[in-house]
């Protein structure tokens, strides 16, 4: 093993990738920035690190994850520059907002090409050298959307879920050769990707999901105000590069850590309801054309059902029914339909 460790970081010209490259460079790593524009990427990295133009620890390689030829050329350039890298960090990504029904298929194709197909191709190209060296770590970046399917970001969530499953499979395949995989589940960080300008949007605020978008947008903007700085992610990534297990799954950020714990302890049904309430989405059946309007008592019970344990709600319901006046339909021998809860 060379004394100077090398790391390849895709998407290293901005955001979490740039912060990570800066952090690792300051700690002695040889950084290969795999970016779409080498001139722009190197300029940003040199400014962040203070590196000279001829600094051998800052290397730029052109990489377009949508172009198979670019991926092949990038792998060749990486191996020529540093041989078998000690770490390969798949950081590059895109984000998109929109319900599944709203997002076009070309967005789904671009999402999977960027997060899954491109990284798989680059990994395939670099694995022979890494196996021959008997060392190396592949780091995959996931998020809350990779842990749970999140409304309004179905394409992104599906791609991140695929990233996690791919990492689990890869870990079992390459562990016997001395290589490992780490999946980093990230929380919300203050980068361009969480802003309107940094993400594709297909949201129709006047369409059938308009109420969803308005609520999610409002709550999302509130969450952005408490986003963590990119430097915190960089420190977490640096720690992950020291992992020794064949497969490690880490959370970076309090919100990500809380999600992993909740997802492990609570049922899928409960997690679905928690997500729905947190995002302010209507309850099941609430927006269907035939949905009856809930009266004051029913609305109060709905709010209680979202907050109180089931045994207490059953007791309250029995008391309400005992003192509630029968409806005309019930008095006539008919039945009254309860609104869906």
Residues forming the active site:
156
Distance CA 144, CA 142 (A): 7
What distance in Å separates the CA atoms of residue 48 and residue 18, rounded to the nearest whole number?
Answer: 8
Angle formed at CA 174 by CA 172 and CA 177, multiple of 5 degrees: 130
First CA to last CA distance, the chain: 61
CA separation for the pair 249, 44 (Å, rounded) = 30
Distance CA 278, CA 262 (A): 14
Q: Which residues 6+ apart lie within 8 Å of 13 measured at CB? A: 33, 35, 36, 37, 40, 41, 44, 45
Rg (CA), the chain: 25
Where b means 16+ CB within 10 Å and e means fewer, 111-147 reads bbbbbbbbbbbbbebbbebbbebebbbbbbbbbbbbb
Please state the length of the chain. 341
Query: Which residues, 6+ apart, have CB-to-CB distance to 21 below 8 Å?
Result: 9, 12, 31, 33, 45, 48, 49
181 close to 138: Cβ distance less than 8 angstroms: yes
Task: Write out the two tokens for 306.
Answer: 């979202």
How far, in Å, CA of 160 to CA of 258, rounded?
18
What angle in degrees, to the nearest 10, is found between the helix axes of 268-279 and 254-265? 140
Closest to 123 in 3D by CA, of 34, 36, 184? 34
At 94, phi and psi to the nearest 5?
-130, 160
């Amino acid at each position: 093993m060379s004394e100077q460790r090398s790391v390849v970081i895709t998407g290293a010209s901005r955001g979490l990738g740039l912060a990570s490259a800066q952090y690792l460079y300051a700690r002695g790593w040889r950084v290969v920035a795999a970016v779409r524009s080498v001139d722009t990427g190197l300029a940003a990295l040199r400014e962040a690190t203070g590196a000279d133009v001829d600094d051998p620890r800052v290397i730029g390689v052109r990489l377009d994850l949508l172009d198979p030829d670019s991926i092949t050329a990038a792998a060749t350039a990486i191996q020529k520059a540093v041989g078998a890298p000690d770490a390969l960090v798949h950081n590059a990504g895109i984000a998109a907002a929109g319900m599944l029904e709203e997002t076009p298929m070309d967005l789904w194709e671009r999402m999977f090409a960027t997060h899954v197909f491109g990284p798989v191709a680059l990994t395939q190209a670099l694995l022979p050298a890494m196996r021959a060296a008997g060392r190396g770590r592949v780091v995959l970046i996931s998020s809350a959307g990779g842990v749970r399917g999140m409304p309004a970001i179905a394409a992104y969530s599906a791609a991140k879920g695929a990233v996690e499953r791919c990492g689990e499979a890869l870990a079992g395949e390459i562990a016997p050769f001395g290589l490992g995989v780490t999946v980093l589940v990230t929380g919300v960080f203050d980068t361009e990707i969480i802003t309107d300008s940094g993400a594709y949007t297909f949201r129709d605020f006047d369409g059938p999901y308009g109420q969803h978008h308005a609520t999610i947008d409002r709550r999302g903007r509130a969450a952005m105000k408490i986003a963590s700085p990119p430097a915190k992610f960089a420190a977490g990534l640096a720690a992950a590069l020291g992992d020794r297990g064949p497969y490690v799954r880490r959370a970076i950020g309090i919100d990500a850590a809380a999600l992993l714990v909740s997802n492990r302890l609570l049922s899928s049904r409960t997690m679905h309801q928690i997500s729905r309430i947190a995002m302010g989405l209507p309850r099941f059946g609430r927006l269907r054309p035939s949905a009856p309007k809930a009266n004051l008592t029913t609305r109060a019970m709905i709010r209680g059902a979202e907050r109180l344990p089931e045994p207490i709600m059953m007791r309250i319901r029995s008391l309400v029914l005992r003192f509630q006046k029968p409806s005309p339909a019930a008095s006539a021998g008919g039945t009254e339909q309860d609104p869906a809860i």
